[in-house]
Amino acid sequence: MNCFLADVYSDKKIIKDGVIPPEFVYSSSGYLAECEGVKPPKGIASHISGIDLVQSRDGTWYILEDNLRVPSGASYPLIARDLCRRASPMVFRERKIADNRNYAALLKTTMDYVNTGGDNVILTPGRYNAAFFEHSYLAEKTGAVLVTGNDLFVENDRLYYLDYQGEKRQVGAVYRRISDEYLDPMNFLPESLIGVPHLYDVYRKGNVAILNASGNGVADDKGIYYFVPKMVKYYLGEDCITHNAPTYLPYYEQDMKYVLDKFDEIVIKDVAEAGGYGVVFGNKLTKQEKEDMIALIKAQPRRFIAQDVIDFIDLDIMENGERVPRKADLRAFVLSAGDVMVWKSGLTRFSRNPDSFIVNSSQGGGFKDTWVLLH
Amino acid sequence: MSETDRQDVPAGAGESETVCSGPLEFEFFYEMQSEFDREIEGHNFRLMCFPADSQRQKVRSVSYEILPHAWLSEGRDSFGNLYVYGRADGRHSSFSVRVHGTVETGHSCFEAYEDGLSDLFRCSTPATAPGDFAAAYFRKIIPAEQEDYGTALYFMRRIHEDFSYQKGVSDTNTTSEQTFERKAGVCQDFAHALITLCRMAGIAARYAAGILEGEGETHAWTEILSGGKWYGLDPTNNCIVDSRYIKLSHGRDCRDCLVNRGIYFNPARETQKVHARAVMI
């Protein structure tokens, strides 16, 4: 994914060689022209990636989504593990479960690796944000300074904050937990009150690292997902080890035919939506809804992708004191700092509703710790 | 296929060569004075009103004065436009920008295509996206099959004939679809309308902002990609961009070329006076 991001904002070889049609890149809402020609420090654009995985009943693992913008949730398994350890230390003594307490160390290594000289900071929208707990927790654990947009300021070509003594200190790496459009009101959305004016001007000059880089949304766009196996082959000359869910682009005539033929067996996703919104199961629609949907797909084929419905393995959860099976997925955290480091834990998200496939916490999903067993 | 692969020389290129009367030297001024009806603070700004070197123009000298400021720094955006950014500390109720310099224009009637972004300039933006009015107009004037340069020239002439130049009917947020409905506007609207038509015909087109010989406000026109070169077309004046044009910036639409971007605390009403001048030396 880092090869793709470096290429797509510079030479665009993958477009010129016809692997990805240009409109899939430029019409993606995650594509930012402001990032054209900007080289991130050490060439890394996706420092912290959240890869959502599911296992089907036949045992095959599938990648559902690559989250390369600001994947959240690493602090939840950390806290859950901590509580479990205290409640039942024997479980961990008797079983060979990989220790997950190194996440902060991995994150610090990742920040230090791209730091351009100065302190590491974690930029939060503030204490009213749903993930503020995680921001403050990770700052505490990594030794980074927790800041809001108002604490940071640019002077000439550098980024600074004032420490508790009122001394000006330079910032070398910003692990930002706010999205691209709010990052810098002078370069992105002018209405943003939580960003840092001129941050991106300093970044353009290579004087600060931003984790993850701006513009990464072009690579985890649902429409681009289809092309990821082709990307891996193109840049690395290798086939993917982990599969993509079988995906179809109505944009291609052949796939459009498949979508129309198998409409009742597929799930349709609006590429512009996230967080579990804009997901439609073909067999759940009324006749009228189905006709409307097909008309919409024909009118705007670029806007949708279709996927075969995979029969995922349900995981057991506790609901009202009862053990019940629910749909779930696993988010693996992959950090890039020269070497690629996979955290031996992860965030398992599940749907509370027995009939739902949607696990997103913004739609009422729950989470639990994930154990990696050592052999 | 990328533009640089194409070897054909566009028809009309010879014609514009004659318009391009060779290098001329201009002294230019850009002055902006903002008055706020109450004091503002925490003022961050970014100004994009500085010509850059290209095949068309060579900048001989530029100086600028921006008041007040705590610090200033210079940058270059993804399209190669030069800008100055900075912050004014404390409270103030007026803000002034003065830029002065000399530029040699007309070294060529086109600019090289170098940034590899032709496909980006074929995609519509919110300000230039065609709607029903643009589509109806496009259908009505549908051009005869010809190469990109000729098609764009034809679009420019049609817009100039069919649209009337009127101040006050539009503002900086007006979309080209609204312009196709009104058939009236100012240079920004004309430039957006031409961009929309070109992109509908699959021609890469971009917005250009700058100063035209004479005195007044800043000007805007369109640049189109043909045969691996960017040509300037001015639909407001129905002419090919020649030595009389000093370019300050280009982008997908006017939002990429905003001369003055500023944010500050305190709600204040801002009145802005802009004065641009270019005089042949």
CB–CB of B117 and A156 under 8 A? Answer: no
**Same domain assignment for residues B45 and B155:** no
Partner-chain contact B263 A190, CB within 8 Å: yes
Helices (H), chain B: 13-19, 132-140, 148-162, 176-182, 187-200
Residue of A nearest to B262 (CA): A186
Mean pLDDT of A102-129: 96
C-alpha–C-alpha distance, residues A10 and A30, integer Å: 16
Question: What is the per-residue pLDDT for A283?
Answer: 85
Q: Are residues B67 and B166 in the same domain?
A: no
Contacts of B161 (CB under 8 A, 6+ apart): none
Flag whether pLDDT at A372 surpasses 70: yes
Q: What is the CATH number that goes with domain A2-225?
A: 3.40.50.11290
Contact A236, A225 (CB under 8 A): no
- When the pLDDT of each residue in chain A is averaged and rounded to a whole number, the result is 92
Q: Are residues B42 and B176 in the same domain?
A: no
Report the alpha-carbon distance of residue A81 to residue A92 in Å, rounded.
Answer: 10
* Mutation site for A-interface testing, chosen from B72, B120, B253 by largest number of A Cβ within 10 Å: B120
Same domain, residue pair B174 and B249: yes
Residue in B137, B152, B270 with CA at minimum distance from that of residue B203: B152
| Residue among B115, B117, B119 with most chain A CBs within 10 A, to mutate | B119
- pLDDT band at B144; cut points 50, 70, 90: confident
| Nearest-by-Cβ selection for B78 from A36, A157, A186 | A36
Residue of chain B nearest A34, judged by CA positions: B78
Q: What mean pLDDT do residues B133-142 have?
A: 93
What band does B235 get if pLDDT is binned at 50, 70 and 90? very high
- Diameter of chain A measured on Cα atoms: 68
Integer Cα distance of B34 and B41 in angstroms: 14
| Residue B72 shares a structural domain with residue B177 | no
B241 and B127 within one domain: yes
Tell me the C-alpha distance between B227 and A233, whole Å.
Answer: 33
Half-sphere exposure of A250 (CA within 13 A, CB side): 27
Count CB-CB contacts under 10 A for residue B214: 11
**Closest in B85, B122, B123 to A186, CB measured:** B85
Structural domain of residue B90, as residue ranges? 25-104+261-280
Contact assignment for B119 to A22 by CB distance below 8 Å: yes
Confidence of residue B118 (pLDDT cuts 50, 70, 90): very high
Is residue B142 domain-shared with residue B43, that is, in the same domain? no
Q: Are residues B73 and B131 in the same domain?
A: no
Q: Give A-chain residues touching B78 at CB under 8 angstroms.
A: 33-38
CB interface of A with B, residues 22-41, below 8 Å: 22-23, 25-27, 33-38
B131 and B243 fall within a common domain: yes
Is ipTM > 0.90 here? no
Nearest 5°: phi and psi at A126? 130, 180
Q: Given this model, what pLDDT does residue B15 score?
A: 45
In chain B, how long is the greatest CA-to-CA distance? 60
The count of domains in chain B is 2
Map out the domains of chain A as residue ranges.
2-225, 246-308
CA distance A140 to chain B (A): 30
Give tens-digit pLDDT for A130-145. Answer: 899 999 999 999 999 9
Same domain as B88, residue B13 = no
Which fold would CATH assign to domain A246-308?
Answer: Dna Ligase; domain 1 (3.30.1490)
Relative to beta strand A209-211, strand A168-176 is parallel
The answer to whether residues A221 and A271 touch, using CB atoms and an 8 Å cutoff, is: yes
Read off the pTM.
0.90
Q: Are residues B96 and B132 in the same domain?
A: no
Query: For residue A287, what are its two tokens?
Result: 């006749």
CB A360 within 8 A of CB A276: yes
- Please tell me the number of Cα atoms within 13 Å of A132 on its side-chain side: 8
What type of residue sits at position B271? T
The domain spanning residue B66 has which CATH number?
A: 2.60.40.2250
- pLDDT tens digits for A334-360? 999 989 999 999 999 998 888 777 777
Chain A residues within an 8 Å CB radius of B73: 156-157, 201
Nearest residue to B114 (alpha-carbon basis) of B256, B246, B225, B209: B225
* Interface residue A15 vs chain B (CB under 8 A): yes
Rounded CA separation B75/B81 (Å):
8
Supply angle C-alpha A259, A265, A266, rounded to 5.
Answer: 55
* Chain-centre distance for alpha carbon B170: 17
Instruction: Indicate whether B5 pLDDT > 70.
Output: no
Burial group, residue A59, by CB count within 10 angstroms (0-12, 13-18, 19+): exposed
Q: What is the average per-residue pLDDT within A165-172? A: 95
Are residues B36 and B89 both part of a single domain? yes
Q: Which residues contact residue B42 at a Cβ distance below 8 angstroms, ignoring those fewer than 6 apart?
A: B87, B263, B264, B265
Both tokens of residue A203?
A: 């970044």
Model confidence pLDDT, tens digit, residues A22-36: 988 998 889 999 999
Gap from B252 CA to chain A (nearest CA, Å):
9
